[in-house]
Amino acid sequence: MASAVEIDAMRRALQLARRGPRGLNPQVGAVILSPAGDVLAEGHHRGAGTPHAEVDALSQLAPGAARGATAVVTLEPCNHTGRTGPCAVALLEAGVARVVFALDDPTDAAAGGADRLRAAGVDVESGVEADAARLLIRDWIALQRTGRPHVTVKWAQSLDGRAAADDGTSQWITGPDARRDVHARRAQADAIVAGTGTVRADDPALTARADGGSLLDAQPIPVVIGRSETAPDAAVRRHPRTPLFYDTHDLTAVLADLGARGVQRVFVEGGPTLASAFIRDGLADELLVYVAPVLLGGSRLAIGDVGVPTIDHARRLAVASVQTLGDDLLIVAGPANTPDREGDA
């Protein structure tokens, strides 16, 4: 059983972990406790190629200072030699007597650290604050499992399902509360994606902004997909992060490349053609639909061909939440594995 001091140390380690960047490696934090339960050192991982959290913490201590200590770590100490040596070995060499960690390492290459420590006589405890640790790195875990980032497809539509007026103008269908919500969600993504059609029509900045227009601290990488050239003076080229341009319609390949760059969460902002393609290809994990109480009519449907030739192939969704934002509605939904439904007729 973990002690109250160890649980507190784990909560502190989770805070430390958040200081690290989201990317190819997970965010991990570590706290070294003396046998009496005093904090000897703290550490966190600062991204691929830099020391892991345990080693970062140990490096602050004089040789021998961690003998008999307890290492509290948010992820199982790794057991493999990448750009840095195995953390399990570093802990053994430091003479640590006990290791408390939150989550088992989900990667085959790095797992086994706990067994190695136990085999060497270290007292090892796992699962402490595991839910919080899992939540912190859930996108990274999903990326290890699927090889691609989590994809949210967002659009704003009129009550009659249009994404733009007949002449193509679409700013602004929704009100300020909905737009604020979009910007906050953009800031939580690692990349914002738009098609060349939207870049041509709207010249979006693809930045995450506060109410007054100032940039939020977190700025996802802007990504443009499509074979047409983006104009040299397009607003996206002035984004604080270097934009990525993918001259292809192969969305699986785009996501694989983004995943290989450590992008864990993608926010697709349309337009209708690209959003439909993500859905059609089965790559949309979450849909965010902002519905405004306005009618636009005309031909500019919010969503086009999603590969549904007949009602038997309808893409059934499970609604996760419905929320009112000012005058607008936000519906959050995801793919549902529902059995066939009977027709309404």
Ligand X SMILES: NC(=O)c1ccc[n+]([C@@H]2O[C@H](COP(=O)([O-])OP(=O)(O)OC[C@H]3O[C@@H](n4cnc5c(N)ncnc54)[C@H](OP(=O)(O)O)[C@@H]3O)[C@@H](O)[C@H]2O)c1
State the residues that interact with ligand X by CB under 6 A: 155-157, 163-164, 168, 170, 173, 194-198, 201-202, 225-228, 249, 251, 269-274, 277
Q: Give the Cα separation of 62 and 32 in Å (integer).
A: 13
**Cβ neighbours of residue 138 under 8 Å, at least 6 residues apart?**
none
CA distance to 76, 85, 111, 148, 221, per residue, from 107 (Å):
11, 16, 6, 15, 26
**Cβ neighbours of residue 40 under 8 Å, at least 6 residues apart?**
32, 33, 34, 61, 65, 66, 69
Nearer to ligand X, 54 or 181 (CB): 181
In the annotation, is 342 catalytic? no
Nearer to ligand X, 137 or 221 (CB): 221
Neighbours of 148 (CB within 10 A): 22
Q: Give the Cα separation of 331 and 307 in Å (integer).
A: 22
Neighbours of 60 (CB within 10 A): 13
Task: Give the bridge partners for 245, in sequence order.
Answer: 224
Q: Give the Cα separation of 237 and 227 in Å (integer).
A: 17
Nearer to ligand X, 51 or 226 (CB): 226
Neighbours of 295 (CB within 10 A): 11
Q: Give the Cα separation of 291 and 288 in Å (integer).
A: 10
Q: Which tokens is 244 given?
A: 């990525």
Nearer to ligand X, 69 or 255 (CB): 255
Q: Give the Cα separation of 244 and 224 in Å (integer).
A: 6
CB of 335 to ligand X, least distance (A): 18
Alpha carbons within 13 A on the beta-carbon side of 319: 7
Nearer to ligand X, 42 or 202 (CB): 202
Task: Give the bridge partners for 331, in sequence order.
Answer: 289, 322
CB of 312 to ligand X, least distance (A): 24
Q: Of these residues, 6, 42, 54, 269, which one is catalytic?
A: 54
Q: Give the Cα separation of 10 and 8 in Å (integer).
A: 5
Nearer to ligand X, 77 or 195 (CB): 195
Nearer to ligand X, 29 or 270 (CB): 270
Distance separating the N- and C-terminal Cα atoms of the chain: 59
Task: Give the bridge partners for 193, in sequence order.
Answer: 223, 268
CB of 178 to ligand X, least distance (A): 10
Which positions are annotated as active-site residues?
54
